[in-house]
Structure 1
Amino acid sequence: MAGKAEYTVFQGRAGDHNDLAMPGAKAIGEELQRRTGISPTVIGTPEPATNGGWREELDAALPSLKKLQSRFEEVLAAGAVSIAATSRCAVSLATLPAVAKHRPAACIVWFDAHGDLNPPEASPTGYLGGLALAGPLGLWASGLGAGLGLDQVVLVGQRDLDPYELDLIATHGIPHIKPGADLANDLRTAIAGRPVYVHFDCDVLEPGIVPTDYQCEGGLSLEDVRACCEVIAEQDFVGIEIAEFQNAWDADSPPVSPGALLDALQPVLAAGPR
């Protein structure tokens, strides 16, 4: 397995508001298989969304998330690049501690309209996904471990941040790269030559490009994403998790292909370990 890409699709429940992200992750896996000829490893079983509070959702998700974490441990320990479709951002509670353990020098480039930096007591909504990066940073105990430092985080595209998150970013000088003409160059500066692991939440994009749960105006274009991925591909690439792609605009709409999104991500999908 060393020196190649390993593909994973997460199909368990992880704080879902609706039933569209699990088939969205499956669609990404199928498209990657079509392009590469490699069948992904599937973790978890789809279940109906319950749209509950963070504690209820975490308790329900933990068995599948622990299986996914074991999968990531195996992939990263072998030196492979990890390419994963992870349905919801809350899945990062499991993936990022494994990255921190096996690639401790890596920076986490967090593409998202949100920071997901709240611990439960600071969350305005109680939504599990809003705690997704805070857990691996040790800001609260998820039961899945931690290991990341705030100096390893690079935020890209955030435009809906809560007061706790804004204070955390300012206090610790976390790079926060906003959409704009210098996006790719600013990202290169923030990475500073480090290995890179990418979390890509589809709501970082301008609304209307792909179906996703949240719609936040002022997002990235697919051209912006590709330019960022070209910068990331210059580095030692650890892997990517693609979250929050929904396979349709709503429950009654026809399926939407992830092809255009994967085209934009292609520079990193084609990158290998160094």
Structure 2
Amino acid sequence: MNIAYISVPYWYGQGKRGTDLGPKAVEEAGLFETFERYGESIERFGEAAVLPERAVWEEDTSLKRLEGVLHTTNDLHHLVRDAVDQGKFPLLVGGDHSMAIGTIAGLKQATPRLGVIWFDAHADLNTPDSSPSGNIHGMPLAVAIGEGEERLVSVGGAGAKLLPEQIVYIGLRDVDPGEQQLIEERGIRVYGMNDIRERGMEAIMEEAVRYLEEVADHFYLSFDLDGLDPSIVQGIGTPVADGISLEDAQVVLKHCADHARFIAAEFVEVNPLLEEGNGTAIVTNGLIDNLLEYMQSHRLVK
């Protein structure tokens, strides 16, 4: 393994302070000790730049804190691109989910056909016109397919970074009307909680990865902690009942890690201010440990 750890300590894409503390919380939960178990092939590659709060303002209520999001995602896309160009696997910890605008832009510069497994309770497919909140963490996939604010779409270069058919949702269960319309119009693949219950996560992930093989040269995992059931994680800003179990989340990680086309992973929306203790960060560190173990095992087998 050749892992580049990138932290993204910011909250400007959503309305609750605290996700800026997410990377530090995961580190305090034992992240660097986890890294040490996998040898010297993991390095702290960088930290995305974040504007001070005094420089961020809500100049448009349909695009809250736009300047802060643009600043961080532009910087992040360079970090991700440089990591991949150096033959490394970017492993990111955030930070709210709007950071994926930068992650996707950086990965797109390294691979012409990028796919994503989007582990999340939410579709994150709103535009400024459809968003009920104006929070940009609900928009990164709309931005990725070229919809919405042009300055966000242009992070890392003009135009869409993903085709709708290169997106696979896992665990989706809270979708706004405008998002549902886009999902249906664009034919985006969705595995909701009923699918997972009826078919099992093993079958879902086998099918999802096989599908991405047809539409993408490489894929990455974007893992929002609110995809898990709220009984497992309390330090999240937008919990949705009836979520994914920890065991099923580990199945997702294993199927990603087992594939040679898997090139990056991000873990987002850890908010230690929303819980007593550091439980969500501890869960996140455990999931990263699982992922690294699966990746190491895959490479040893190969």
TM over 0.5: yes
- Give secondary structure in 2 for the equivalent of 1:157: strand
State how 1:87-98 maps to structure 2 within 5 Å.
87-98=95-106
Match of 2:203 in 1: 185
Displacement of 1:106: 3.3
Displacement of 1:189: 0.8
- Which residue, 127, 139, 152 being the options, matches 1:119? 127
Change beyond 3 A, Cα 1:51–1:231 = farther
Displacement of 1:138: 0.8
State how 1:1-274 maps to structure 2 within 5 Å.
4-30=2-28, 31-37=30-36, 38-39=43-44, 41-45=46-50, 47=52, 52=58, 53-140=61-148, 141=150, 142=152, 143-144=154-155, 145=157, 146-179=160-193, 180-181=196-197, 182-192=200-210, 194=213, 195-210=218-233, 211-236=235-260, 237-250=262-275, 253-256=276-279, 258-270=281-293, 271=295
Deviates more, 1:138-147 or 1:42-51: 42-51
State TM-score, norm by structure 2: 0.80
Q: Which amino acid aligns with 2:46?
A: T
State TM-score, norm by structure 1: 0.88
Displacement of 1:51: 9.3
Change beyond 3 A, Cα 1:257–1:215 = closer
How many Å separate the matches in 2 of 1:154 and 1:85? 21
Contact 1:223 1:264 in 2 (8 A): no
Q: Which amino acid aligns with 1:19?
A: R
Displacement of 1:48: 5.5
How many Å separate the matches in 2 of 1:257 and 1:209? 8
Deviates more, 1:69-78 or 1:38-47: 38-47
Greater share of residues in helix = 2
How many Å separate the matches in 2 of 1:155 and 1:255? 27
Change beyond 3 A, Cα 1:257–1:125 = closer
Residues 79-112 of structure 1: CA deviation (Å, up to 9, x unaligned): 2111001210111111111112212333200011
Change beyond 3 A, Cα 1:267–1:185 = farther
How many Å separate the matches in 1 of 2:278 and 2:17? 13
Contact 2:7 2:23 in 1 (8 A): yes
Displacement of 1:206: 0.7
- Give secondary structure in 2 for the equivalent of 1:104: coil
Contact 1:113 1:159 in 2 (8 A): yes
Displacement of 1:215: 1.3
Residues 249-274 of structure 1: CA deviation (Å, up to 9, x unaligned): 34xx3433623333234443342789
Q: How many residues align?
A: 270
